[in-house]
Amino acid sequence: MDARIAPLARQLLDHSLDLQPGERVLIEGQTGSEELVRGLIAEAHARGALPFFEIVDPRVRRAQLLGASRELLDIEMAWRLARVHDVDARLHILAGTNLSELADVPPEIMREGHQASRSLLEESLKKKWVVLRFPNAAGAQAASMSTDGFEDYCFHVSSLDYAKMERAMDPLVALIEATKAVRITGPGTDLTLRLDGLPVVKCAGRRNVPDGEVFTAPKLDSTEGVIAFNAPAVFDGITCDDVTLTFDRGKVVKATGSPQTKIDALLGTDEGARFVGEFALGMNPLIERPMKDVLYDEKISGSLHMALGLAYDLADNGNRSAIHWDLVLMQTPEWGGGEVWFDGVLVRKDGLFVLPELDGLNPECLVG
């Protein structure tokens, strides 16, 4: 077994899940992640926990979806929901040999699948959970890296000093908690939203690996203006580029990008798919460019992201949807720059925090 597996497994079970003796943990891994699944099972046993597992083959999943009826999807999701009810923690490992395996599943079936899984998604978020990607050739190709280079990078970024990052996030959390109005500017972007006193959540390795964001959610009807996202946004195996959204009273009233048909299909999932369920700033100093993987891209240093659809329980603005689609805007100079303002005060310019109390979140401090 790769010597890097055991330390990663320990970090996931101890830091991310805080797994305790007697707790039931469900480990779901896509094909290609079996080595990590075995390591996690061994470490869970060593802690006196009860590990359960499932290996999912996306290619087999595609075969099922191509002929799936809503009845089939509802029955399957009821089974999965019962299983999630019965565990204390859930660990999901993305892998697979083809990141676009579901790209040709008809959009109406994908929409039915998202709607059928809505209760499962909501229940899963109530448990202790963590999601990560296990490095393989498919992920390396999407990131335009060699397989060995991608493996080294993934293990490196996953072992960042997240405890240090978590401490450095405290001043930003306090600032956002005191903020009412947010303005975001940049090329093609002038957007405002209001915060409504919801919790502000720091993410430093306890829900995602890699990690590095602070999030909350806007007041549901408050988002106004235009935002032009500049990172590729992958959903259901399809990459959407140049997504630009126009908001009126919190709702997306115009959306452009490529492929337009996929964007329209996602926004048509349900009413909540046109409203924002999350607003976040990304700050992982080791992630500097898009990798076509939202687990990495939403944490890019100097970025922000907004999610259309379901709001997390931890910062719940009331939005309900069968999807949670993260869209990323990079604001570093090489991506056109941009500014983030809180209550009329400049907080971040061209990807760097400008307030002294937030300097600890800039790259040179987090990796120093």
pLDDT single digits (tens) 74-123: 999 999 999 999 999 999 999 988 888 998 999 899 989 988 888 888 88
Partner residues linked to 327 by β-bridges: 306
Give the contacts of 58 (CB within 8 A, at least 6 positions apart).
Answer: 30, 31, 96, 97, 98, 101, 102
What is the structure's pLDDT at 205? 85
- Model confidence, pTM: 0.84
The pair of three-digit structure tokens given for residue 363, joined into one six-digit string: 């790259």
> What is the rounded distance in angstroms from the CA atom of residue 62 to the CA atom of residue 48?
36
What is the structure's pLDDT at 56? 93
Give the contacts of 242 (CB within 8 A, at least 6 positions apart).
Answer: 228, 229, 230, 256, 257, 258
What is the structure's pLDDT at 99? 83
What is the structure's pLDDT at 306? 98
Pairing of strands 303-309, 181-186: unpaired
Residues 167 and 134 in one domain: no
State the DSSP H helix or E strand holding residue 339, giving kind and residue range, or none if neither: strand 339-342
Which of 158, 188, 212 corresponds to the end of one domain? 158
The pair of three-digit structure tokens given for residue 22, joined into one six-digit string: 């007697």
| Cβ-defined contacts of 146-155 (< 8 Å, 24+) | 154/210, 155/4, 155/8
What is the structure's pLDDT at 286? 95
Range of the domain at 63: 5-158
Residues 216 and 137 in one domain: no
Q: Average pLDDT over the chain, rounded to whole?
A: 94
Residues 70 and 177 in one domain: no
In percent, the amount of the chain with pLDDT more than 70 equals: 100
Residues 312 and 344 in one domain: yes
Please give, one letter per residue, the 3-state secondary structure of 136-173: CHHHHHHCCCCHHHHHHHHHHHHCCCHHHHHHHCHHHH
Residues 180 and 327 in one domain: yes
> What is the rounded distance in angstroms from the CA atom of residue 362 to the CA atom of residue 360?
6
Residues 124 and 251 in one domain: no
Nearest to 201, CA basis, from 113, 278, 285, 97: 278
Domain of 136, CATH number, reads: 3.40.1830.10
Is residue 217 within 8 A of residue 275, CB to CB? The reply is no
Taking residues 233-237, report their average pLDDT.
90
Give the contacts of 77 (CB within 8 A, at least 6 positions apart).
Answer: 116, 117, 119, 120
Residues 265 and 348 in one domain: yes
Is 3 buried (19+), middle (13-18) or exposed (0-12) by CB count in 10 A? exposed
Residues 153 and 166 in one domain: no
Residues 97 and 245 in one domain: no
DSSP string, 46-104: HTT-EEEEEEE-HHHHHHHHHT--HHHHHHHHHHHHHHHHT-SEEEEEE--S-TTTTTT
Residues 195 and 129 in one domain: no
Is 303 buried (19+), middle (13-18) or exposed (0-12) by CB count in 10 A? buried
Longest Cα–Cα distance of the chain, Å, equals 57
pLDDT band at 124 (very low <50, low <70, confident <90, very high): confident
Taking residues 9-20, report their average pLDDT.
92
What is the structure's pLDDT at 160? 84
Query: How many structural domains does the chain have?
Result: 2
Is residue 228 within 8 A of residue 188, CB to CB? The reply is yes
Helical packing angle, 107-116 and 58-66, nearest 10°? 100
pLDDT in tens, 250-271: 999 999 999 999 999 999 999 9
CB hemisphere CA count around 40 (13 angstroms): 32
Is residue 321 within 8 A of residue 269, CB to CB? The reply is yes
Residues 304 and 235 in one domain: yes
What is the structure's pLDDT at 368? 66
The pair of three-digit structure tokens given for residue 51, joined into one six-digit string: 């590990």
Residues 327 and 341 in one domain: yes
Which of 128, 158, 188 corresponds to the end of one domain? 158
Helical packing angle, 107-116 and 260-267, nearest 10°? 30
Which of 158, 178, 207 corresponds to the end of one domain? 158
Nearest to 210, CA basis, from 95, 91, 300, 295: 295
